[in-house]
Structure 1
Amino acid sequence: MFNASFPRNPAGGPAQATKSGDEALGRLPEWDLTHLYPGASSPEFNNAFDEAAKKARSFSARWKGKLEEAAGKTGDDGLGAAIETYEALGDTLGRLGSFAGLSYYANAADPALRKLYGDTSARITEIYADLLFFELELNRLDEETINKALEADARFAHYHPWVLDLRLEKPHQLDDRIEQLFMEKSTTGGQAFNRLFDQTMDRMRFTVDGEELPLEKTLNLLSDAKEPVRRKAAEALAATFKDNLPTFSLIMNTVAKDTEINSRWHAFEDIADSRHLSNRVEREVVDALTEAVREAYPRLSHRYYAMKAKWLGMEQMNYWDRNAPLPDAAERVIPWDEARDTVLSAYGAFSPEMADIARRFFDEQWIDAPIRSGKRTGAFAHPTVPSAHPYVLVNYLGKPRDVMTLAHELGHGVHQVLAAKQGALMCSTPLTLAETASVFGEMLTFRALLSQTTDKAKRKAMLAQKVEDMINTVVRQIAFYQFERKVHTARREGELTEDQINEMWMSVQAESLGPAIKLADGYETYWSYVPHFIHSPFYVYAYAFGDCLVNSLYAVYQNAESGFQDKYFEMLTAGGTKHHSELLKPFGLDASDPAFWSKGLSMIEGLIDELEALDKE
């Protein structure tokens, strides 16, 4: 997962650090997308498209129908030379797509940027029509031919990990013309409904005490210290979600059906198997994770929320109290500069090199931090392409959670910088391992702050917030995954009504959150704003996978005498060249072992134990 010049900066020059509406935050940076292209109307951007289209046609003319012959050759006539050209074209198209997409996500309210994103996506799809044959034809070569080419051609052998991954797709590969149809129709299918979702979310406003607020600021009120503020925000969210429910229901139904059609035609057995394949993780491993987390619900979320209800003086919390601060938690806005220094210090204590890479994001304008109309909610780190550098988007409000989000996304960014060394075809890390560096970065930052905190009330507040974040990352995301499975399974039998989707949502939420939280009227619509359900079906278990993995990994780090940092950097630098079993082996970890997940979950349980002990002091 894209830019052009922003409306506030129509010439397309470097964006300047801007002042937030809240002076306490300090100057918040905006990213500089001219590192990719000077602007959407620049000769560089338009010429890159024309040149890519020309090279794609030449590539097709040079190699289509000739890969078996090339497999018996080396040098510029061998498969290695073909892949090098293919990879270079992918880098160019990825840069173009990144430019348009990042522009769109920075301000989806601008019609010009929406058009740029749509036109760029369509044009890239058209160019890929000339390249689609390559992977399909390469996969039709028999194993003996591939193995001989790997032995004879060193340039081809360099891409051995990518070739192995590609071969996994072979059982699900269709005729070239059918695959081309799927690709071209994607712009009017799933991709179109992705855009409809984004634009619907951008237009929505939520009325709280007479003020019209965007989603990000309204969600932020759910962690306000005052219960009436939280309640009004929750009711405003529910009311607007309900008004838009027919649209969201249509989008969900369409995406689920689109996913089912793709899975059926490509001969995937389970509704999530295509995601598992792209993640290079076995279904059995994901099932083991899911069951381990579900079995742990009573020990984790149910237990913690019962404790929190007592701290808030309630027998049962309403759903809008779930992320409320503790009664004695100090409220303070954390300025941007302090957040930056906190994260860089924590990273530097682990590895100076890690801090040096993260510092570039601040110094070289690779971060977009202010909240503004039209900007995508939440946060992400986008790798762009190896010939450029990643970008990070956050919506910074100065809360402790925002500092953790910054640490999380910079972990992604560091990972993406290191993995870029593998090149455009092999830098991409499967989603299950893509969350490793981000969650590890969060953990480093949390542990650094906790070690400096001796005040009991502050320590309790920090522990509680970390437990809540981990519950949101593990318990909540597995509940999301279960919800998706229910929706996609039921959609195979016909279109789902709004009430049916709501009921599925409420059932998994009740199971995961437990009896200490009252799911009052209105909450049944809250599934509608989760972008992962639309943009990346079944993505969400990757968060739980990453959190549990990092919990186990961090335990190894705490007990390691030396050499951990080197092994950790080797893991990140590997990108997509190794299976998760290979990457975890140097740390003595095995995700196929049920005890692995129990070990990760026990760390969350240990933090809850520590909170309980603080209560008794």
Structure 2
Amino acid sequence: MTHATGWTQARGALAQGARSAAEGGSAASELGALPEWNLADLYPAHDSPRVTADLAQAARDASAFEQRYKGRLNEMARRSGAELAGVIREMEALDDLMGRLASYAGLFYSGNTTDPVRQKFYGDVQEKLTTASTHLIFFALELNRIDDAVLDEAARDPELGHYRPWLDDIRKARPHQLEDRIEQLFHEKSVTGAGAWNRLFDETMAGLRFDVDGTELSLEPTLNLLQDADGSRRETAAKALSKTFRQNLPVFTLITNTLAKDKEISDRWRGFTDIADSRHLANRVEREVVDALVEAVREAYPALSHRYYAMKAGWLGRDVLDFWDRNAPLPSADTRRIPWDEARDTVLGAYGRFSPKMADIARDFFDKGWIDAPARTGKAPGAFAHPTVPSAHPYVLLNYQGRTRDVMTLAHELGHGVHQVLAAPNGALMAPTPLTLAETASVFGEMLTFKALLGQAETPEKRKILLAGKVEDMINTVVRQIAFYTFERKVHAARREGELTSADLCDLWMSVQTESLGPAIRLGEGYETYWTYIPHFIHSPFYVYAYAFGDCLVNSLYAVYEDAEAGFQDKYFAMLSAGGTKHHSELLAPFGLDATDPAFWRKGLSVIAGFIDELERLDA
């Protein structure tokens, strides 16, 4: 398996931090002026001569790199670690150039995925970068053929030693790499294979319209109505979602079957024994650690989601809740729209109380045009933070609608952004963070913001509302994501036995949802189609457990912080600044935390249970 070059990571990073938060329409006058990002820090425009020139340079440099170094890496390693390090630096510069192009194309496309001009530009750039990067496939493969003793000796040179974490990472993939020509075929076919199916999903989803009381809405505003204070409005939106999803089941079923089979072929050729092992390898986390997390969360369903939703049903005067009531606001909840300036000040204030340094980094996103906040027709749904490349800076995409959850989403994505800024000095090869740890700063940023809001609660009722909102977010982050992971495992396992029908997929979805949500949620007709719109299933199979990993990790981490351990902030920034240079065990050790210990997961889950306990006391 070849090393994913920086441009490939940048392309995939559009999914990193993505949250399927429910957003919806609101008058601009309520929210104030919403920022739109300025992509000129990457390129002046999609038709800029600089784009054309850089694409040509990437093609030339990649070809020249192959001609200069293919077949020579072993002798260079034997001769001089510094010489091999010089070649890696050239590779890193190429990664940065190609990553800049891929990042710009992806962000430009995300602004309106239904625009034919953007679609063509995005597709053309992907294709040209894929062609150029075929010349780089040899590099990781050849490095992995160098004898361990030879590479160890060469890495004694400080210049090559600097890249030791990256070398160790690609060496972990050595058992799964294939012969050079097969790797090249897999790589080139990705444009017409998985990449094409991903694009079909994005463009299909962006083009869907949902009839809500005679008004056609796109996905995000319709999802947002599931949080409306009016129960009939929630029901109408839920049924509109179900109707349109059902009408498009054939295409989403075909996409899911095709991508699951595509992954099975790749896994089989590469010798992965478990359907999620390739994700675990990319995340640098052991299968046993993930299995322990999943088992702990599933065992906690009754104490968490089942208990909370039964309590919420009582608050809403019901024995059970229909699925469209799951995220309904409480009767006394403040449903006002939160202006953008207030959201900004809330998050920056929370960050600043933790560390002025953290707030200063986050403030750049607001002041320098690094955020795109409005919900627009055709815009990519949800939210994400894109790291781009170390020579530039991250960007954040939101669909801001002024809900409290939108403020928390802003805090979440800015956490990613801060993390990405701090990790960037590690360079294009070692800045990217495994997904399991990539959610640390984002969830920590959410917790800081939540605690700040909770501290401002003036009455027990307001505290209850905030706690309920946080519990729902944590259930969505932990319980729901582990249920999603369980669904994916069932889908990919079943696909190995043959194609799945739409009914098969819907049945698998309902089985995991029934288990995770519990008896207080009535999963009525129409809900069986809701698997169709989850982008992580398409873009990043088995990504979703990273959310639960990050939430439980941060719950434990925050407990250490609240114990007022001296020097916590310095340790925290050191963890984020490490980027992809350290294993999770090394990063957590300074805090006295160990993800291999089952008690670690139970401790994280106990934080959620503790919030539910407090809600029960407030309700008494």
TM-score range, shorter chain: over 0.9
Q: 1:62 aligns with which of 68, 80, 95?
A: 68
**Is the CA contact (8 Å cut-off) linking 2:81 and 2:155 kept in structure 1?**
no
- Paired position in structure 2 for 1:309: 313
Q: How does 1:433-472 map to 2 (within 5 A)?
A: 433-472=437-476
Q: Deviations over 1:283-330 (max 9, x none)?
A: 000000000000000000000000000000000100000000001112
**Is the CA contact (8 Å cut-off) linking 2:81 and 2:154 kept in structure 1?**
no
- Paired position in structure 1 for 2:47: 41
- Paired position in structure 1 for 2:374: 370
**Is the CA contact (8 Å cut-off) linking 2:112 and 2:118 kept in structure 1?**
yes
C-alpha distance in 1 between matches for 2:300 and 2:81: 56
Q: Deviations over 1:107-163 (max 9, x none)?
A: 111101001111111111101111110000000111011111111x32211100000
Q: How does 1:513-532 map to 2 (within 5 A)?
A: 513-532=517-536
Q: 1:230 aligns with which of 228, 234, 237?
A: 234
Q: 2:533 is matched by which residue type in structure 1?
A: Y
**Is the CA contact (8 Å cut-off) linking 1:20 and 1:370 kept in structure 2?**
no
C-alpha change, 1:2 and 1:574, in structure 2 (3 Å) is: closer
Q: 2:151 aligns with which of 139, 146, 153?
A: 146
Q: 1:415 is matched by which residue type in structure 2?
A: H
Structure 1 position 291 matched with structure 2 position 264: no
**Is the CA contact (8 Å cut-off) linking 1:150 and 1:157 kept in structure 2?**
yes
Structure 1 position 51 matched with structure 2 position 57: yes
Q: Once the 2 structures are TM-superposed, how far is the Cα of residue 2 of structure 1 from its aligned partner?
A: 6.6
Structure 1 position 421 matched with structure 2 position 430: no
User: Once superposed, what is the RMSD of the aligned Cα atoms?
Assistant: 1.1
Q: Once the 2 structures are TM-superposed, how far is the Cα of residue 48 of structure 1 from its aligned partner?
A: 0.8
**Unmatched segments (≥5 aa) in structure 1:** 4-18
Q: 2:290 is matched by which residue type in structure 1?
A: V
C-alpha distance in 1 between matches for 2:204 and 2:69: 43
- Paired position in structure 1 for 2:587: 583
C-alpha distance in 2 between matches for 1:485 and 1:586: 34
Q: Once the 2 structures are TM-superposed, how far is the Cα of residue 75 of structure 1 from its aligned partner?
A: 7.5
C-alpha distance in 1 between matches for 2:165 and 2:238: 48
Q: How does 1:65-464 map to 2 (within 5 A)?
A: 65-74=71-80, 78-151=83-156, 153-464=157-468
C-alpha distance in 1 between matches for 2:49 and 2:400: 34
**Is the CA contact (8 Å cut-off) linking 1:329 and 1:461 kept in structure 2?**
yes
**Is the CA contact (8 Å cut-off) linking 1:204 and 1:240 kept in structure 2?**
yes
Q: Deviations over 1:507-536 (max 9, x none)?
A: 000000000000000000000000000000
Structure 1 position 483 matched with structure 2 position 491: no
Q: 1:124 is matched by which residue type in structure 2?
A: L
Q: 1:52 is matched by which residue type in structure 2?
A: A
C-alpha distance in 1 between matches for 2:81 and 2:201: 48
Q: Deviations over 1:540-571 (max 9, x none)?
A: 00000000000000000000332000000000
Q: Once the 2 structures are TM-superposed, how far is the Cα of residue 74 of structure 1 from its aligned partner?
A: 3.2
C-alpha distance in 2 between matches for 1:188 and 1:411: 34
- Paired position in structure 2 for 1:602: 606
C-alpha distance in 1 between matches for 2:123 and 2:49: 19
Tell me the SS of whatever aligns to 2:191: helix
**Is the CA contact (8 Å cut-off) linking 1:71 and 1:146 kept in structure 2?**
yes
Q: 2:563 is matched by which residue type in structure 1?
A: N
Q: 2:311 is matched by which residue type in structure 1?
A: M
**Is the CA contact (8 Å cut-off) linking 2:26 and 2:401 kept in structure 1?**
no
Q: 1:223 is matched by which residue type in structure 2?
A: Q
Normalising to structure 1: TM-score of the pair? 0.96
Q: Once the 2 structures are TM-superposed, how far is the Cα of residue 415 of structure 1 from its aligned partner?
A: 0.0
C-alpha distance in 1 between matches for 2:248 and 2:81: 58
**Is the CA contact (8 Å cut-off) linking 2:222 and 2:241 kept in structure 1?**
yes
Q: Aligned residue pairs: how many?
A: 599
- The alignment-based identity, stated in percent, is 67
**Is the CA contact (8 Å cut-off) linking 2:10 and 2:387 kept in structure 1?**
no
- Paired position in structure 2 for 1:14: none
Q: Deviations over 1:6-41 (max 9, x none)?
A: xxxxxxxxxxxxx97431100000000010011122
Tell me the SS of whatever aligns to 1:381: strand
Higher relative contact order (CA 8 A, sep 6+): 2
Tell me the SS of whatever aligns to 1:130: helix
Q: Deviations over 1:388-433 (max 9, x none)?
A: 0000000000000000000000000000000001000000000000
Normalising to structure 2: TM-score of the pair? 0.96
**Is the CA contact (8 Å cut-off) linking 1:332 and 1:399 kept in structure 2?**
yes
Tell me the SS of whatever aligns to 1:365: coil
C-alpha distance in 1 between matches for 2:28 and 2:575: 40
C-alpha distance in 2 between matches for 1:603 and 1:438: 17
**Is the CA contact (8 Å cut-off) linking 1:80 and 1:154 kept in structure 2?**
no
Q: 2:236 is matched by which residue type in structure 1?
A: K
Tell me the SS of whatever aligns to 2:79: coil
Q: Deviations over 1:243-279 (max 9, x none)?
A: 0000000000011111111111110000000000000
Q: 2:37 aligns with which of 28, 31, 34?
A: 31
**Is the CA contact (8 Å cut-off) linking 2:435 and 2:543 kept in structure 1?**
yes
**Is the CA contact (8 Å cut-off) linking 1:2 and 1:96 kept in structure 2?**
no
Q: 2:80 is matched by which residue type in structure 1?
A: T
Q: Once the 2 structures are TM-superposed, how far is the Cα of residue 369 of structure 1 from its aligned partner?
A: 0.2
Q: Once the 2 structures are TM-superposed, how far is the Cα of residue 457 of structure 1 from its aligned partner?
A: 1.5
C-alpha distance in 2 between matches for 1:434 and 1:500: 33
Q: 2:96 is matched by which residue type in structure 1?
A: D
Give structure 1 regions of 4+ aligned residues with deviation exceeding 6 angstroms. none
C-alpha distance in 2 between matches for 1:238 and 1:497: 17
**Is the CA contact (8 Å cut-off) linking 2:212 and 2:236 kept in structure 1?**
yes
